[in-house]
Structure 1
């Protein structure tokens, strides 16, 4: 048999075309008389198989139908992919419109585990470690070495108390530790020490507002009750290796956690995600939590159940399932939606929801079963006989409450009411860099007040200057480090007390003051910010003012007649554009800005104020270029 060319095979496989040459050729000389007689029946049978439909038996004498038109395989695959994508898009709703399922009520309770900001572990003097060499900070008790005893480290209680106060909890004067028994390789003792029966804090609440990102169905806000906050030890870190091998890092064993358990007060997925986000912001604001969800310092487990709304509000809640270890705010919302829909589908099909623990993978569309739900009896809670009760004095609680500082809600209110920021910008400013960004803002505000020479009313006298400062600190500073292709881009070096190593407060204050006073242009201001960030100030120039003076970057604006001359040049040859300003129904703002843009390009950009250029062009259109033009 002769070799079949690659092109012929390609046409056959991808386009369904049969070659007329070589071994693919089928001629009459190769067919017997019997095969020729059976040919019509074979063709009919093949068509039946192709369409997968039952066809009546064809007689030998019937003439064959014309062969079906062949569709290339590549096109078939593309069409099938488009249909699948369209079907998925039809089923999947945006989360904003997927908060409620008619006829059903969702109920959610959340357990949040947060790593405390402490130097020592909960029951040993080993150092807390997150990025150090594996198993380099491990005490005998962390490994459950026989004869080792737990020693409660009192300093770990301080960030836990700050967290409880930020969550509006009642601190208990006496609390006790319990053993929660289960066996896993990440728990060498066979039990975890926690506070199940007598936690150190109870009955708190977190108030969520629309600006926190709650579901629209929750209206003006919702208060989520905190059942209790308890201290407990973290487990070891499991690192999966190729095959069935797992490595264990005991550095994390015994790291102090708090577990925040809410009441089942949440009924919408977006509100659940908003609560976790709000708790993270609160814990960061009072310096209780070492890191957020993005760094693994905070994890959430959600308990989900559904019931029919027709059963009434007094009907018992449905069987709940727990989704473990959600590591992002989006995962919280998406996992709740997926599990809610799964439970509703089970109940509508006549089945029963099983109490179980389920898992969630990022990018998934459904939860997966992990194991049957353990009950309290399975854990065999018992008081830990090796640990004494924890007694907390009122004087300590009062001192921490008085020195806790301003909480995020009050700070956001001040940014909105005093500085005129939007709620979104205010929340972003408070939440960025663990609160360090907003501390930097307050330092810049203080420096600007001194720069502008005003007293207590400086902010009211110059609101635009402080709004400009907020915008630059929120957006322009972020752009400095946002380019992943720039090897020189580094962290801003913000500290908790509001200092910035890369852009000192004094340098940014000078840039903003010069820009607000119109002594430099916005373009020059951005160039100066980049120069400061790169360290050229103070390495090459003594200060921002020295850089402006040395490089002759002061803004020397054009005179009125110079703007007018530029406007004459800009409209030259643009008769069609200018004509659109005569007899308009709606003022052509876009055409106006086109002409202003020509003015800026024709002139010296560093000497042009765009607002003044627009004002001159608008006036000359009315007075000179289009006489009798009505005012917009």
Structure 2
């Protein structure tokens, strides 16, 4: 084939125009997998600012091909579990599968996170995640001859925030290296990274029991971070029917950080907890674009095993599991690879250094290729990039503006409001930290409504109520069982919510805490706010309560006592359960409370108060009467 002119190559790369002479087109057309595909679809993997390649595969299928059906992740997992059960492979629960007698597991993790920046790492092209494919690509992104990398200084800021959040030592001087490999997702044939001199080293992350670590790790564990390096992301491959792949170069050059831990982890659940903790920290300091669920954070796991009877023996040969995209996948893949390695060694085999893959719902890892080493990648300093010099004044400025990190905030929620560790962690982690800001806004308004003694024990339940509703009741508004499930609640960075404004939720919680409305009415009001009936139909919360007569006119204590006696009448068999019991019959008590609610005016009864009164009536009046009757 004759050498193409630069102009012809440019037309091919930037406009998708094939050179019609020579062997390029003829060879493409003889390929059976692409002969049935229009040329426009083939060229859509290359051009600059083309809009031919869409991620929606339904619009690009051949006429006789069935449309692909999107299957939710949860359904995929359930279907895979059913398939394994049918094959007689019953999966052991992970909580009981953290250790194998006689063996020690060692895990190291490499986490790749997309940085929250407006520009790519070495080009002024805009970072793009949801735009049309190949619509934000610069010459350097495509490795056009003559194009040069230009380090975008603003990409360093979120990287430094991440390093400080992970307790790393920022290096004053760092340099970029070339990591060579050839694949269609890397046009230049190499990736620019920081292998020898990264910008951050020697970090440490502390995991506590509340973070979800394995029970075998006790109250906590400290995991060392070897280094954090900046590098560029690769292109995104879009699989199509007929063994065809499209390539979207919008992602080429998007700034990444790679966080490399020391092999300090020995239990699968702890590895998953570390990845989750890193994601929470990166979100808290606004360093990361998105989490694992959206593809903004990916984890590679290095796994090795050795016999536990000789602690001085070297670590076993490690294998790497690539591109794990969920916390559950991290734990499941480690367990599967650990068990595979143990099985190989116990049968007299040898563990090969290799890269392995993992699929959703699998029970085994699969071989992808032999593991590349340092020699294979031919690392070399990048001659086109100068060293990155980071001043101590910049690091100090960023450290002072870090604000409160998640662990400190979780501690405050537990100590100040008495929340459970699980609820506190959920509040901090949800919606990229926006939900906890919403909670603080609600707390501020509630404290003003409560008055001068706002933070006394008397009002503690009100703040706990706020946390519970923000976590659970708001979540039910968009659950899969609700017709409005597709509608996002719309939390913002300043702690507002488009669908449930802070002031409306505060009104509901205040009236519920003051027992001016029932829990049932409160939930109905929340629905009215979510569906925008307030303020579209009713101007204020008070207006809807007045017009619909929803204020809680609770029974007085004498009326509760009278109703309790009425509910207990004729229930001698039930009441006998409260005489000389070994375990308090709570179920029978709630049965009688249910009778109270059915016999009385439900809209005037508080179930908690009804339970309190019924319990008191039983203990002070009914049980003594039964005992005296039996003695007589």
* TM-score, normalization by structure 2: 0.83
Taking structure 1 as reference, are residues 214 and 386 closer, same or farther at Cα in structure 2, changes over 3 Å only? same
Match of 1:520 in 2: 517
CA contact (8 A) 1:112 1:260 kept: yes
Q: How many residues align?
A: 547
- Asked whether 1:433 is paired with 2:431, we answer yes
Alignment correspondent of 1:554: 551
Q: Does the 8 A contact of 2:271 with 2:331 survive in 1?
A: yes
Aligned residue for 1:100, secondary structure, equals coil
Query: Which structure has the larger Rg?
Result: 1
Deviation at 1:616, TM superposition (A): 3.5
Offset at 1:307? 1.2
Q: CA deviation at 1:183?
A: 0.2
Rate the CA distance shift 1:108–1:446 in 2: closer, same or farther, 3 A.
same
Matches within 5 A, 1:453-468: 453-454=451-452, 458-468=455-465
Could you tell me how far 1:496 is from its partner in structure 2?
Answer: 1.2
Q: CA deviation at 1:219?
A: 1.3
Q: Quote the offset at 1:537 in angstroms.
A: 1.4
Tell me the equivalent position of 1:338: 336
CA contact (8 A) 2:477 2:485 kept: no
1:474 aligns with 2:478: no
1:501 matched to 2:498: yes
How far apart, CA to CA, are the structure 2 residues paired with 1:182 and 1:82? 38
Equivalent position to 1:602, from 599, 602, 606: 599
Q: 1:463 to 1:537 in 2, by over 3 A?
A: same
1:530 and 2:527 correspond: yes
Deviation at residue 622 of structure 1 after TM alignment? 5.0
Contact 2:169 2:203 in 1 (8 A): yes
Cα 1:347–1:479 shift into 2, 3 Å: same
- Counterpart secondary structure, 2:309: helix
Q: 1:300 to 1:147 in 2, by over 3 A?
A: same
Question: Do the aligned residues in 2 keep the contact of 1:106 with 1:304 (CA within 8 Å)?
Answer: yes
How do 1:368-447 and structure 2 match up within 5 A? 368-447=366-445
Change beyond 3 A, Cα 1:184–1:541: same
Cα distance in 2 between the residues matched to 1:277 and 1:108: 15
Q: Deviations over 1:234-290 (max 9, x none)?
A: 000111112221110001011000000011111111111111000000000000000
Q: Deviations over 1:564-622 (max 9, x none)?
A: 44334423444443454456555433222212211111221111122332343344445
What is the Cα deviation at residue 530 of structure 1? Answer: 1.1
- The Cα shift of 1:311 comes to 2.6
CA distance in 1, matches of 2:120, 2:567: 71
- Judge conservation of contact 1:419–1:459 (CA < 8 Å) in 2: no
Q: Displacement, 1:211?
A: 0.7
CA distance in 2, matches of 1:263, 1:180: 21
Whole-Å separation in 1 of the counterparts to 2:582 and 2:266: 50
**CA 1:400–1:582: 2 relative to 1, 3 Å:** closer
Decide whether the 8 Å contact of 1:480 with 1:489 is kept in 2. Answer: no
Helix, strand or coil for the counterpart of 1:466?
A: helix
Which residue does the alignment assign to 2:33?
none
Task: Tell me the residue number matched to 2:542.
Answer: 545
- C-alpha change, 1:616 and 1:377, in structure 2 (3 Å) is closer
Structure 1 residues 588 and 106: alpha-carbon distance in aligned structure 2, compared to 1, 3 A threshold: closer
Q: CA deviation at 1:185?
A: 0.5
Q: 2:113·2:298 contact (CA, 8 Å) conserved in 1?
A: yes
Displacement of 1:121 in angstroms is 0.7
Gaps of 5+ in 1: 1-80
Is residue 104 of structure 2 the alignment partner of residue 127 of structure 1?
no
The structure-2 alpha-carbon separation of the partners of 1:343 and 1:221, relative to structure 1 and needing over 3 Å to count, comes to: same
Report the CA distance shift for 1:268/1:619 in structure 2 as closer, same or farther (over 3 A).
closer
CA shift in 2, pair 1:230/1:82, >3 Å: closer
| Contact residue 228 and residue 260 of structure 2 kept, 8 A | yes
Distance across 1 between alignment mates of 2:146 and 2:357: 37
Cα pair distance change 1:630/1:609, threshold 3 Å: farther
Q: Cα deviation per residue 1:484-505 (whole Å; 9 max; x = unaligned)? A: 4404762111001111111111
Q: Distance in 1 between the 2:277 and 2:83 partners?
A: 40
Q: Determine the structure 2 residue equivalent to 1:187.
A: 186
Q: In structure 2, how many angstroms separate the alpha carbons of the residues matched to 1:433 and 1:82?
A: 34
Shift of 1:557: 1.1
Residue 55 (structure 1) aligns with: none
Deviations 1:166-213 (A, max 9, x none): 000001111111110000010000000001111110100100111111
Q: Aligned in 2, Cα 1:381/1:624: closer, same or farther, shift over 3 Å?
A: closer
The Cα offsets for residues 544-580 of structure 1, whole Å up to 9 and x where unpaired, read as: 1222122221111113343344334423444443454
- Give the direction of change, closer, same or farther, for the CA distance of 1:630–1:415 in structure 2 (3 Å limit): farther
SS in 2 for 1:228: strand
Judged with a 3 Å threshold, the aligned counterparts in structure 2 of structure 1 residues 122 and 502 are, in CA distance, closer, same or farther, namely same
CA distance in structure 1 between the aligned counterparts of 2:198 and 2:183, rounded to whole angstroms: 24
C-alpha distance 389-608 of structure 1, shift in aligned 2 (>3 A): same
Query: For 2:233 and 2:214, how far apart are their aligned partners in 1?
Result: 33
